[in-house]
């Protein structure tokens, strides 16, 4: 059998000047007209080699660094797929494309499975489509080479990278470890932290109970960084902050077009937490319908994004939390019993601040330091009677409320001057509670604030009945909103108000956020 001589472009000196750096494309087709048509389409962007059979093509592959090969499927002798299978074994870096005038499904399957075909182009092909296909093939080859170089670099630098990773992990554990949960010696929190640290090393689900603001997320993060999953992600979602219809998409992801507004694929938080921990705060606020879907994910270890039929495996540790009495919710039928037992591998109870008064002052000192740094007001200290003020309040909002009050005392300061001992003396026009926290208040102000009035704290001692009732109403609204983390739907439900009515009251008292 006679062999077609290599094309004149087979020699580098015959390529156009300045084209030496262009990617090299090999055309293998027994029809000369087809070769010429492909050459005209591609020669402005690429250097071109041509061969009329697979024997000539092998010779060119041995002499040149070919980036992409386009091969006709049906030629005398060896088929295109059979030839490209050999190319895959001997020159795996070459991107392989088949061109055929026959839409034979068996050829296509064989091309993909056996020859690792990048693309299958049917005749008659469109020039722009063919040019785009080859461009994409060259880009794929460039990316593959880049990944291989990165892999080699990483392999060479693995010991250094491993050490850097270990160093970052040590830093994270120092910042988020159990010892960084502020508390006094002998605190009731000690037993909780000891138990949490003990079970952290085991891949058990954890349910953390406690009022809002007690530090449930802080405990969950400490468990994560004390666990074998510490190098993985720690992902947080507040289940009460998202409408139930969107919570499934947020946690499990969705496919483009799954619902109105789903313009792109979205990776859910469970997939982002793969290999690590996901913290589901306020799990008790979820609907029974969502609870069923979450239960399936936890049982099967896989999920289906909204709008997808394909299951995606996920490997996560779940830590859930709620301020609700969850066992009562189960008995009342508002929370699924099977999901409860799936989540409550271990249950921990975070005590409220009022049940651990010894922790209040150490926590307040810590929060004062944080607030001074955040607000740029250094040097402040608590007043001499601050301990009595701090311990005399029940803190329904727990640590979150305590932090807000300390920040308020700093932020609302109107008169700041240096005291003799270097501390800042702050005079504020705020409610009595904030005024009494920081040093520098006059004895009269402190005495007035602690005069033993029967009125609730923050209610003016003088004024009309309407003014005093407004103050009490504003305090109740704020306390309920804090307890529900400013979830207005829940607050309105507790207060027996509509959302419109609640919004009107918030605007009236300047509490709208």
pLDDT tens figures, 32-42: 899 999 999 99
**Banded model confidence at residue 103, pLDDT cuts 50, 70, 90:** low
CB burial string 165-185: b at 16+ within 10 A, e below: eeeeeeebbeebbbeebbbbe
Whose tokens are 């262009």? That residue is: 22
Residue 162 lies in a domain: no
Largest CA distance in the chain: 114
Angle CA(474)–CA(479)–CA(483) in degrees, nearest 5?
A: 150
Residues 257 and 132 in one domain: no
Whose tokens are 């349910």? That residue is: 207
- Statement: residue 158 has pLDDT above 80: no
Angle CA(210)–CA(212)–CA(214) in degrees, nearest 5?
A: 65
Residues 475 and 407 in one domain: no
- Statement: residue 4 has pLDDT above 70: no
Residues 91 and 136 in one domain: yes
370: its two tokens: 């944080």
**Banded model confidence at residue 381, pLDDT cuts 50, 70, 90:** confident
Residues 330 and 345 in one domain: yes
Question: How many domains, the chain?
Answer: 4
Residues 187 and 149 in one domain: no
Range of the domain at 244: 176-351
**Banded model confidence at residue 79, pLDDT cuts 50, 70, 90:** confident
DSSP structural state of residue 6: P
Residue 513 lies in a domain: no
Residue 274 lies in a domain: yes
Q: What is the per-residue pLDDT across 198-251, written as a single tens digit (0 to 9) for each?
A: 999 999 999 999 999 999 999 999 999 999 999 889 999 999 888 877 899 999
pLDDT of residue 485: 72
Domain CATH code at residue 15: 3.40.50.2300
Domain CATH code at residue 432: 1.10.8.60
- Statement: residue 341 has pLDDT above 50: yes
Which of 333, 351, 369 is at the close of a domain?
351
Q: How many Cβ atoms sit within 10 Å of the Cβ of residue 41?
A: 19
**Banded model confidence at residue 425, pLDDT cuts 50, 70, 90:** very low
Residues 300 and 400 in one domain: no
Residues 196 and 257 in one domain: yes
Residue 163 lies in a domain: no
CB burial string 4-36: b at 16+ within 10 A, e below: eebbebbeeeebeeeeeebbbbbbbbbeeebbe
Residue 170 lies in a domain: no
Residues 273 and 347 in one domain: yes
pLDDT of residue 104: 61
Angle CA(118)–CA(123)–CA(126) in degrees, nearest 5?
A: 85
Q: What is the per-residue pLDDT across 105-127, written as a single tens digit (0 to 9) for each?
A: 566 666 666 667 888 888 888 88
Residue 430 lies in a domain: yes
Q: What is the per-residue pLDDT across 462-496, written as a single tens digit (0 to 9) for each?
A: 667 677 777 777 877 877 877 777 788 888 888 88
- Check: pTM over 0.75? Answer yes or no: no
Residues 184 and 270 in one domain: yes
- Statement: residue 447 has pLDDT above 50: no
Residues 289 and 387 in one domain: no
Query: Could you give the CA distance from residue 50 to residue 9 in angstroms, rounded to a whole number?
Result: 8
8 A C-beta contact, residue 394 and residue 355: no
Residues 119 and 189 in one domain: no
Least confident of 75-79, 160-164, 417-421: 417-421
Residue 167 lies in a domain: no
pLDDT of residue 111: 63
Candidates 353, 295, 355, 301; CA nearest to 320 is: 295
pLDDT of residue 6: 44
Which of 153, 184, 219 is at the close of a domain?
153
Query: Could you give the CA distance from residue 437 to residue 422 in angstroms, rounded to a whole number?
Result: 17
Query: Could you give the CA distance from residue 294 to residue 26 in angstroms, rounded to a whole number?
Result: 53
Pick 57 or 431 by higher pLDDT.
Answer: 57
Reported as half-sphere exposure (CB side, CA atoms, 13 A), residue 321 has a value of 24
Residues 267 and 185 in one domain: yes
Whose tokens are 């709620």? That residue is: 322
- Statement: residue 16 has pLDDT above 80: no
Domain CATH code at residue 494: 1.10.10
Domain CATH code at residue 299: 3.40.50.300
8 A C-beta contact, residue 70 and residue 97: yes
Which of 351, 371, 389 is at the close of a domain?
351
Residue 457 lies in a domain: no
């Amino acid at each position: 059998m006679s062999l077609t001589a290599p094309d004149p472009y087979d020699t580098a000196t015959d390529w156009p000047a300045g084209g030496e750096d262009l990617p090299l494309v090999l055309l293998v087709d027994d029809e000369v007209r087809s070769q010429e048509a492909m050459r005209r389409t591609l020669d402005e962007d690429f250097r071109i080699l041509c061969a009329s059979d697979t024997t000539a093509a092998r010779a060119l592959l041995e002499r040149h660094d070919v980036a992409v090969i386009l091969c006709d499927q049906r030629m005398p002798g060896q088929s295109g797929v059979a030839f490209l299978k050999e190319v895959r074994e001997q020159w795996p870096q070459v991107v392989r494309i088949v061109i055929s005038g026959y839409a034979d499904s068996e050829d296509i399957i064989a091309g993909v499975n056996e020859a690792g075909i990048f693309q299958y182009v049917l005749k008659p092909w469109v020039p722009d489509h063919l040019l785009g296909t080859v461009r994409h093939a060259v880009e794929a080859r460039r990316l593959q080479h880049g990944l291989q170089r990165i892999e080699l670099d990483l392999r060479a630098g693995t010991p250094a990278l491993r050490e850097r990773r270990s160093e970052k992990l040590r830093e994270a554990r120092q910042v988020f470890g159990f010892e960084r949960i502020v508390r006094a010696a002998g605190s009731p929190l000690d037993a909780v932290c000891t138990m949490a640290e003990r079970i952290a090393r085991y891949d058990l689900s954890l349910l953390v109970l406690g009022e809002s603001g007690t530090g449930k997320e802080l405990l969950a993060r400490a468990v994560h960084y004390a666990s074998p999953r510490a190098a993985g992600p720690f992902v947080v979602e507040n289940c009460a902050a998202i409408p139930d219809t969107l919570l499934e998409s947020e946690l499990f992801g969705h496919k483009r077009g799954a619902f109105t507004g789903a313009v792109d694929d979205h990776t859910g938080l469970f997939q982002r937490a793969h290999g690590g921990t996901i913290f589901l705060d306020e799990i008790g606020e979820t609907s029974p319908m969502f609870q069923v879907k979450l239960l399936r994910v936890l049982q099967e270890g896989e999920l289906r994004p909204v709008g997808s039929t394909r299951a995606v495996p996920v490997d996560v540790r779940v830590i859930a939390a709620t301020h609700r009495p969850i066992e009562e919710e189960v008995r009342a039928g508002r929370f699924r019993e099977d999901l409860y037992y799936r989540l409550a591998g271990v249950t921990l109870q975070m005590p409220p601040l009022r049940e651990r008064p010894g922790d209040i002052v150490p926590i307040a000192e810590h929060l004062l330091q944080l607030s001074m740094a955040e607000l740029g007001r250094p040097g402040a200290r608590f007043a001499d009677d601050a301990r009595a003020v701090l311990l005399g309040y029940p803190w329904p909002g727990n640590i979150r409320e305590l932090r807000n009050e300390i920040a308020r005392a700093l932020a609302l300061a109107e008169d700041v001057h240096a005291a003799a001992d270097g501390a800042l003396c702050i005079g504020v026009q705020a409610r009595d509670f904030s005024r009494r926290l920081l040093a520098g208040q006059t004895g009269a102000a402190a005495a007035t604030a602690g005069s033993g009035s029967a009125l609730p704290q923050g209610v003016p001692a003088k004024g009309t009945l309407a003014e005093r009732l407004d103050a009490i109403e504003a305090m109740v609204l704020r306390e309920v909103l804090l307890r529900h983390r400013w979830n207005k739907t829940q607050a309105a439900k507790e207060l027996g108000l509509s959302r419109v009515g609640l919004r009107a009251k918030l605007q009236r008292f300047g509490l709208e956020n």
